[in-house]
Amino acid sequence: MTFTDTTVPAEDGLGDGLGDGLDAVAGTARLTAAVRARETERADRLFGDPYAAALAGDPGRESLAEHGDVPVIPVRTRWYDDAVAGVAQAGVRQFVLLAAGMDTRAYRLPLPADTVVYELDRPELLTLKGRLLSGAEPRCARVPVGVDLAADWTGALRAAGFQPERPACWLVEGLVQYLHEPSVQSLFDRVTGLSAPGSHVLTDIVGRSLLDDPAAAPMLERLRRAGAPWHFATDRPEELFQGRGWQPGIVRVGEAGHALGRWPEPDRTSPAQGYFAHATR
């Protein structure tokens, strides 16, 4: 991931230790892989990812040991897995992962063989990922596309073979909170401009209520010091889609986690929220 509007120098060395010279925001991909690897070891795992340990490596495992587990990641991963499976079953064969990071869905999900998964992220991260997965075979066509997601990446995606006249499914996982609002709006403008009828968007969104919650302050300060601060948040995530011709379905993270047995009873009155969105057009 390259975020020219967000990246700042890390104050505690997290950015330097999480990805062979990757910046802190991009380096969180190895931490995320470490969380997936730990989940895979559980008897009650929500999913299995046999590639996560290799992608995490020592940097990801060390970061996980230092900073602690991130319980939302297994829930988020399973939510995306289920949504992707449903979209594929409905006949969509183009999937675009914006800020793909160390995602392994092209390798571990039983997607139809004629599916194409485009993975967009910074070139050096994709190169590292390819090296770590050397010898592994994806289950469908996987097309890495090195880009700066804060700039206009649409030409690079088209050049890689993406067909905007066909329906697509866009995965925007763990990304928008690192961007400033103008970049978020531009991102969804570009997605909309390349989306034929029948397309889908899957994304997760931090609530402004969560960003303003005093209980979240220590975590947010750790992210800031690590060089990966959160910027964008909203408690009206549907507004990102309605003005662009999408029909959004919104689920609170707590509700999704509770349904999977990984969250306490969701308090619908709690002011601090995060959201999963599945929008269609």
pLDDT tens, residue by residue, 12-47: 323 333 334 456 656 688 999 999 999 999 999 999
pLDDT tens, residue by residue, 55-102: 999 999 998 888 777 889 999 999 999 999 999 999 999 999 999 999
Q: What is the pLDDT of residue 268?
A: 62
Q: Model pTM?
A: 0.89
The distance of Cα 83 from the centroid of its chain, to the nearest Å, equals 13
Backbone φ, ψ for residue 155 (5° rounding): -65, -40
275 forms bridges with which residues in the sheet? 205, 252
pLDDT tens, residue by residue, 102-134: 999 999 999 999 999 999 999 999 999 999 999
The distance of Cα 214 from the centroid of its chain, to the nearest Å, equals 25
Average pLDDT, the chain: 88
Domain range list for the chain: 70-280
Which DSSP string do the residues of 81-129 spell out, in sequence order?
Answer: HHHHHHHHHTT--EEEEET-TT--HHHHS---TT-EEEEEE-HHHHHHH
By CB neighbour count within 10 A (0-12 exposed, 13-18 middle, 19+ buried), where does 16 fall? Answer: middle
Q: What is the pLDDT of residue 6?
A: 34
Calculate what percentage of the chain has a pLDDT beyond 70: 88
Question: Taking the domain 70-280, which CATH number applies?
Answer: 3.40.50.150
Backbone φ, ψ for residue 277 (5° rounding): -125, 135
